[in-house]
């Protein structure tokens, strides 16, 4: 059965920086895997999942935000990790090829074409994978993983009462690229070169408001990334831009996705003991996403003014980290003390279950 996996959401990207990541080496790429996503928060790129039907495998390409160029990523890399990514399992046998002979391609938007294709396929689902081989006279691309409104507001002095109403303004502010037969000198967008043949891979949400694979706005059902045939350029295909001109569709395949699994983080504190006048505890990442910039607070006797802070730069999924705090570093009193150990005290890490983020230890200190 075709299944969609989602690590974080588009909504999460809009709301702020993300400290949870899925490494590329944990994405199975055998067979046909459709997906899209963003690269690390430091380099701001976007991802294109490109199936190779003959070799029965899928490659992931990174699209560079400064020049639109694409680079193939190693599936075994321990460096490449993604704050947002959605992808399918191997759906080689789940595709429905659409007969588009009666479609009005040149006078329809890409969203209308995909919606018509989904209606033709006749399979109901909340989400659909989309694969298109197409020809364009001009294509418009944007590339950026940071859809963080507070950052954009800080840089652009922009304020909106409704954060989601600002999304179009965010896309407008991004660097735009275009591929066309020739450069238009009066066009403010950056010209990449001539590239007519494009492979488009993306997701269609029946209800965009979930924010799992598309921007949570009405009518934003389709989220498409693309890469040109030569694999020189790629990015988020701005298919509704007035300069984009679709000429022909060579192939269109719809993949109904019947199941959805949201990949989440889950932090907890375990094995808390007072040992030889030292506080010893273990921070465990028992979720499925790696976590960065994890803060730990040790608070004695509910006095936050006396707290001790620790930071774990990176904690991979399934791993743990032991912390040892000497007695003389903790402000304790003679007699009974209550120590609270809190993982992610500011709730910056996105977790489904935060009830296990606090561990309480009772410690008795003898008079000197």
Lowest-confidence segment of 157-171, 232-246, 289-303 by average pLDDT: 157-171
Of the chain, the percentage scoring pLDDT greater than 70 comes to 90
Do 204 and 285 share a structural domain? no
205 and 112, same structural domain? Answer: yes
Q: Are residues 73 and 167 in the same domain?
A: yes
Residue of higher predicted confidence among 163 and 50: 50
* Residue 294 sits in the same domain as residue 148: no
Indicate the pLDDT class of residue 166, thresholds 50, 70 and 90: very low
Q: What is the mean pLDDT of the chain?
A: 90
CA distance 355 to 268: 9
Give the whole-angstrom CA distance, residue 136 versus residue 130: 17
**Percent of the chain scoring above 90 in pLDDT:** 76
Of the candidates 27, 34, 72, 70, which has an alpha carbon nearest to the alpha carbon of residue 51? Answer: 34
Q: Are residues 25 and 126 in the same domain?
A: yes
16 and 41 both lie in a single domain: yes
Residue 142: which CATH number? 3.30.1330.80
Greater confidence, 177 or 170?
Answer: 177
Pairing of strands 259-263, 3-7: parallel
Is it the case that residue 359 has pLDDT exceeding 70? yes
The residue segments making up the domain with residue 42 are 3-262
- Residue of 276, 318, 278 lying closest to 298 (CA atoms): 278
Do both 156 and 15 map to the same domain? yes
Residue 19: strand, helix, or coil: coil
C-beta neighbour count of 189 within 10 angstroms: 18
By three-state DSSP, how is residue 335 classified? strand
CB atoms within 10 A of CB 159: 8
Both tokens of 132, joined, read 């298109």
CATH code, domain carrying 284: 2.60.40.10
Do residues 103 and 190 both lie within one domain?
yes
Residues 147 and 97 in one domain: yes
Q: What pLDDT is attached to residue 314? A: 95
- Which of 243, 262, 281 marks a domain boundary? 262
Q: Is 66 exposed, middle or buried (0-12, 13-18, 19+ CB in 10 A)?
A: exposed
- 51-65, 155-169, 291-305: which range is least confident on average? 155-169
Name the burial class of residue 102, with classes exposed (0-12), middle (13-18) and buried (19+) by CB atoms within 10 angstroms of its CB: exposed
Whether residues 347 and 226 share a domain: the answer is no
**272 shares a domain with 221:** no
Structure tokens of 184?
A: 């238009």
Measured between alpha carbons, how far is 307 from 313 in angstroms, rounded to an integer?
19
Q: Is 15 helix (H, G, I), strand (E, B) or coil?
A: helix
Residue 162 has pLDDT above 70, yes or no: no
Q: Which two tokens stand for residue 275?
A: 């040992």
Cβ atoms of residues 368 and 278 within 8 Å: no
329 and 316 in a common domain: yes
- Residue ending a domain, among 206, 229, 262, is 262
In the chain, which residue ranges form alpha helices assigned H by DSSP? 10-15, 110-121, 149-156, 167-173
Chain center to CA of 280? 35
- The answer, yes or no, to whether residue 163 has pLDDT greater than 50, is no
What pLDDT is attached to residue 16? 66
Structure-block tokens of residue 177: 């690229």
* pLDDT (0 to 100) of residue 172: 64
Question: Helices (H), strands (E): how many in the chain?
Answer: 4, 24
Q: Out of 238, 262, 286, pick the residue that ends a domain.
A: 262
Q: Into how many domains does the chain fold?
A: 2
Cβ 297 vs Cβ 359: under 8 Å: no
In this prediction the pTM is: 0.89
pLDDT value at position 165?
A: 47
């Amino acid at each position: 059965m075709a299944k969609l996996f989602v690590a974080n959401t588009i909504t999460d990207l809009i709301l702020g920086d993300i400290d949870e990541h899925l490494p590329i080496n944990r994405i199975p790429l055998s067979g046909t895997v459709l997906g899209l996503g963003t690269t690390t928060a430091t380099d701001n790129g976007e991802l294109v999942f490109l199936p190779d039907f003959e070799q029965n495998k899928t490659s992931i390409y990174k699209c560079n935000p400064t020049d639109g160029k694409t680079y193939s990523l190693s599936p075994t890399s321990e460096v490449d990790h993604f704050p947002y990514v959605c992808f399918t399992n191997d759906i080689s046998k789940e595709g429905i090829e659409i007969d588009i002979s009666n479609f009005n391609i040149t006078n329809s938007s890409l969203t209308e074409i995909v919606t018509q294709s989904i209606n033709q396929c006749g399979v109901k689902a909340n989400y659909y994978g989309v694969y298109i081989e197409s020809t364009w006279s001009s294509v418009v691309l944007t590339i950026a993983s940071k859809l963080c409104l507070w950052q954009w507001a800080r840089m652009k002095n922009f304020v909106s009462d409704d954060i989601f109403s600002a999304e179009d303004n965010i896309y407008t502010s991004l660097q735009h690229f275009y591929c066309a037969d020739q450069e238009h000198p009066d066009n403010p967008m950056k010209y990449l070169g001539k590239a007519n043949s494009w492979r488009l891979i993306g997701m269609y949400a029946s209800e965009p408001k979930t924010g799992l694979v598309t921007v949570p706005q009405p009518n934003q059902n389709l989220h498409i990334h693309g890469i040109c045939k030569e694999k020189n350029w790629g990015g988020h295909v701005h298919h509704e831009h007035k300069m984009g001109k679709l000429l022909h569709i060579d192939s269109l395949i719809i993949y109904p996705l019947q199941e959805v699994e949201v990949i989440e983080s889950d932090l907890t504190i375990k094995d808390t003991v007072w040992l030889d006048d030292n506080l010893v505890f273990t921070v465990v990442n028992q979720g499925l996403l790696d976590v960065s910039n994890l803060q730990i607070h040790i608070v004695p006797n509910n006095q936050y003014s006396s707290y001790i802070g620790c930071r774990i730069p990176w904690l991979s999924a399934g791993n743990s980290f032991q912390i040892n705090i000497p007695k003389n570093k903790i402000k304790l009193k003679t007699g009974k003390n209550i120590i609270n150990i809190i993982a992610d005290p500011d709730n910056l890490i996105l977790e489904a279950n935060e009830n296990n983020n606090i561990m309480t230890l009772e410690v008795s200190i003898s008079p000197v």
